[in-house]
Structure 1
Amino acid sequence: MTEVLSFEDAINETAGKGKRHLLLGNGFSIACRPDIFHYGSLFEEADFSNNPQLPKVFDALGTQDFEAAIRALEAGASLAPLYMGGSAAASTAMLDDARALKEILLTTIARNHPDIPMDIPDEKFWACRRFLRHFLAGDQAGQVFTLNYDLLLYWTLMHDDNPFSGVLDLTASDGFGNDEDDPEADYVVWQGETGAHSARVHFLHGALHLYDSGKDLQKYTWVRTNLRLIDQARTAIDDGKFPVFVSEGTSVQKKSKIRHNAYLYQGLKQLAANAKVVKSTFFIHGHSLAQNDDHILARLGKGRFGTLCVSLFGDPASDTNKEIIARAEWMKRLRNDRYPLALRFYDAETANVWG
């Protein structure tokens, strides 16, 4: 029978063992709002009933990536007249479908996410900051990596106007700063590798507040815009920007998208670098250790840190948890014998992430 610790016991066991790092999965968000975050992917949630031809676009491209499909339609609309005798019908149809896809993307995001931070009670944010202080405060402060593209982690880190000043203060740099050409803009921009070295929070699969403008990566901030998520996203997309997030596909497909984006790739390198530090520990919270994230999990398995603590939700003997345990054992087998990996499992509910 697998021993399952409380979260407090797992924290105590890792005391004095170097930096403590955290990798978050979707269970982190589900624990906050199970009514809206309990889904597999945006593509699966999207309603194509008014545009039944659109899934064929994804099939033809071999992807479930909305941005790839929209850009392909817009590019095709520009080229179609060259190959169709100057007819504008195909171009018009492609542009109409691109606009429809943008709206489907926006409505799917909005349906599966709170509009504004105030939709989450303050007490939940403060509870989450208590959880995060084990990884972002004190002598063992390390780094936090998330595979979620929702805004709950970002909103929590931003929610520092709490009555526990000095107790729940966190070191939460994410590598973004003012645009030197427009310091009063509604957004801040990624500072590149220079800023990345001081970053303590990494969105490994991007997030809904990060947008590719073509010339830089912009982070939209609630305190500067006061816009609902849906309005912020619509403004950005109408301006030709797309949220940077990796939500679909196999591990190979996700890895390919990460390698083609400097910000995402830098976050992956930061995780790999921390995994090679012998005197350090990693916690994985709210993740099933599914194979479609092997591009992340294998780097931890092949690292050198000493202890990996993995959360389990519910009965340790459930099929889901037995699979998580088996996958953790697979990660352990990836290790070089010179750097053995100790596995510990803890009860996710005892972490009281959201109170």
Structure 2
Amino acid sequence: MKIENFNDVLLSRIKNRDRDFHLLLGNGFSMAYDPDIFSYNALHSFIEKMEDEDLSKILNVIETKNFELIMQNLDSLTALIGAFDGGQDIKNKIKIASEKLKVSLLDAVRSLHPEHVFKVPEDEAKACAKFLNLFLSRGGSVFSTNYDLLLYWILMRSEIVNHVDGCGREILNYEPGMDRDDFEWSELFWGRNKKRQNVFYVHGALPFFDAGSEIVKEEYSESAYLLQKISTRMERGEYPIFVTAGSGDEKLTHIMHNHYLSFCFDKLSEITGTLVTFGFNFGEYDRHIVEAINRAAKKGRKEFPKLVSVYIGVYSEADKKHIEEIEHLFMVKVRIFDAKTVDLWGRD
């Protein structure tokens, strides 16, 4: 396959003005900002330093920094123990260890995260907003599989006016004739603006909490930064909507059991035109995303409108080879471009 550059993607966008262009972000988006914070290596090191006996055993036996693979191994071990009647006690221990690892992963993301949005330099925030606007300004959508706050921060700080994450408020004390200054507003609930939604966190994200009948989005206030408020919730034993691990099928099962996540996945499955991916490597545990793309491509059928092409950003020759090896999984035209030609954070 020929490696194009990002200018070729932009040229295609200009030539196909009648086509929607959407964006899918993976962990490479955050790593491009700071790999010392957002890589699996950083998360792994944080959890190692916790010196938890059970987690140390897991990390020593399963010698990988890929948390999805660790979770997969734990699930497989539980299934094997069940198949060989190994006893409920050991199964319970593995389940507890798995849950502890998920919680620790969240704690690591929270602790390593920059303190607040203004830690991102102004010129870098503007460069990233310019990149995102290439898609949002033309009626496209942005999908992210990242849990962190970077995308949310850039969208809010840069005042990209046409971005909608589906959340809104309700007036709690409305009476006819009441002055607007006297309104009392609810928390931000997802769903109030989902008809206009064009930003989707397919695997959840730190600001989104499942409150049972509602999805609540944590927000800034004059008294505390967003990350502080998220931390307060987590210290109360509340945890964000967060698809952490498992095979593609297991991730999809998790997604389909949460109405926010399933809505986001369905929207990805319905896009038309062209999808551009950045920092998403389509690994072994991402087959549910491939399935969403194939649904959007209407499984290769001729009916329109549908998704017709995918531009996949790659960083290396190994990335290129990987996409060539899995190209047959896609029921849509696949093109690749050099992700390093995107001036994402304005540092080039």
> Does TM-score exceed 0.5, indicating one fold?
yes
Instruction: Identify which of 198, 205, 208 aligns with 1:207.
Output: 205
Question: What's the offset of the Cα at 1:233?
Answer: 2.6
Mapping of residues 229-248 of structure 1, within 5 Å: 229=227, 231-248=228-245
Q: Answer yes or no: is 1:297 the counterpart of 2:321.
A: no
Partners of 2:111 and 2:41 lie apart in 1 by 14
Instruction: Identify which of 202, 217, 220 aligns with 2:218.
Output: 220
Mapping of residues 158-197 of structure 1, within 5 Å: 158-160=156-158, 169-181=160-172, 183-184=184-185, 187-191=187-191, 195-197=193-195
| Kept in 2: contact 1:129–1:157 (CA 8 A) | yes
| Kept in 2: contact 1:106–1:234 (CA 8 A) | no
Question: What's the offset of the Cα at 1:228?
Answer: 5.5
| Kept in 2: contact 1:173–1:200 (CA 8 A) | yes
Instruction: Identify which of 154, 157, 170 aligns with 1:156.
Output: 154
Q: Answer yes or no: is 1:255 the counterpart of 2:252.
A: yes
Q: Answer yes or no: is 1:125 the counterpart of 2:125.
A: yes
Partners of 2:310 and 2:113 lie apart in 1 by 30
SS at match of 1:46: helix
What is residue 40 of structure 2 aligned with on the other side?
39
Do the aligned partners of residues 214 and 331 (structure 1) sit closer, same or farther apart at CA in structure 2, a change above 3 Å counting?
same
| Kept in 1: contact 2:47–2:108 (CA 8 A) | yes
Question: What's the offset of the Cα at 1:3?
Answer: 1.8
Partners of 2:103 and 2:337 lie apart in 1 by 41
Question: What's the offset of the Cα at 1:237?
Answer: 2.4
What is residue 303 of structure 2 aligned with on the other side?
none
What is residue 27 of structure 2 aligned with on the other side?
26
Partners of 2:104 and 2:163 lie apart in 1 by 33
| Kept in 2: contact 1:30–1:37 (CA 8 A) | yes
Aligned length: 296
What is residue 310 of structure 2 aligned with on the other side?
308
Partners of 1:113 and 1:293 lie apart in 2 by 24
What is residue 275 of structure 2 aligned with on the other side?
282
Deviations 1:177-228 (A, max 9, x none): 014448545x41112xx63221000000000111122332111123565326
| Kept in 2: contact 1:189–1:219 (CA 8 A) | yes
User: Which stretch shows the higher mean deviation, 295-304 or 49-58?
Assistant: 49-58
Aligned letter for 1:159? R
| Kept in 2: contact 1:10–1:309 (CA 8 A) | yes
Partners of 2:23 and 2:57 lie apart in 1 by 39
Aligned letter for 2:125? F
Task: List alignment gaps of at least 5 residues for structure 2.
Answer: 62-67, 72-96, 174-183, 298-305
CA RMSD of aligned residues (A): 3.4
SS at match of 1:148: coil
SS at match of 1:172: coil
Question: What's the offset of the Cα at 1:114?
Answer: 1.1
Do the aligned partners of residues 133 and 269 (structure 1) sit closer, same or farther apart at CA in structure 2, a change above 3 Å counting?
same
What is residue 92 of structure 2 aligned with on the other side?
none
Aligned letter for 1:19? D
Question: What's the offset of the Cα at 1:98?
Answer: 12
Task: List alignment gaps of at least 5 residues for structure 1.
Answer: 66-96, 162-168, 336-340
| Kept in 1: contact 2:269–2:294 (CA 8 A) | no
Deviations 1:95-138 (A, max 9, x none): xx99988984564123332121111111111101110111100x
Partners of 2:247 and 2:102 lie apart in 1 by 23
| Kept in 1: contact 2:218–2:226 (CA 8 A) | no
Partners of 1:259 and 1:225 lie apart in 2 by 36
Deviations 1:224-249 (A, max 9, x none): 653262x3233112444211111222
Partners of 1:41 and 1:147 lie apart in 2 by 18
Partners of 2:132 and 2:232 lie apart in 1 by 32
Aligned letter for 2:323? I
Question: What's the offset of the Cα at 1:142?
Answer: 1.0
SS at match of 2:196: coil
SS at match of 1:14: helix
Do the aligned partners of residues 267 and 43 (structure 1) sit closer, same or farther apart at CA in structure 2, a change above 3 Å counting?
farther
User: Which stretch shows the higher mean deviation, 264-273 or 236-245?
Assistant: 236-245
What is residue 268 of structure 1 aligned with on the other side?
265
Q: Give TM-score, length-normalised by structure 1.
A: 0.73
Question: What's the offset of the Cα at 1:39?
Answer: 1.0
Question: What's the offset of the Cα at 1:324?
Answer: 2.4
| Kept in 2: contact 1:36–1:111 (CA 8 A) | no
SS at match of 2:29: helix
Aligned letter for 2:290? L
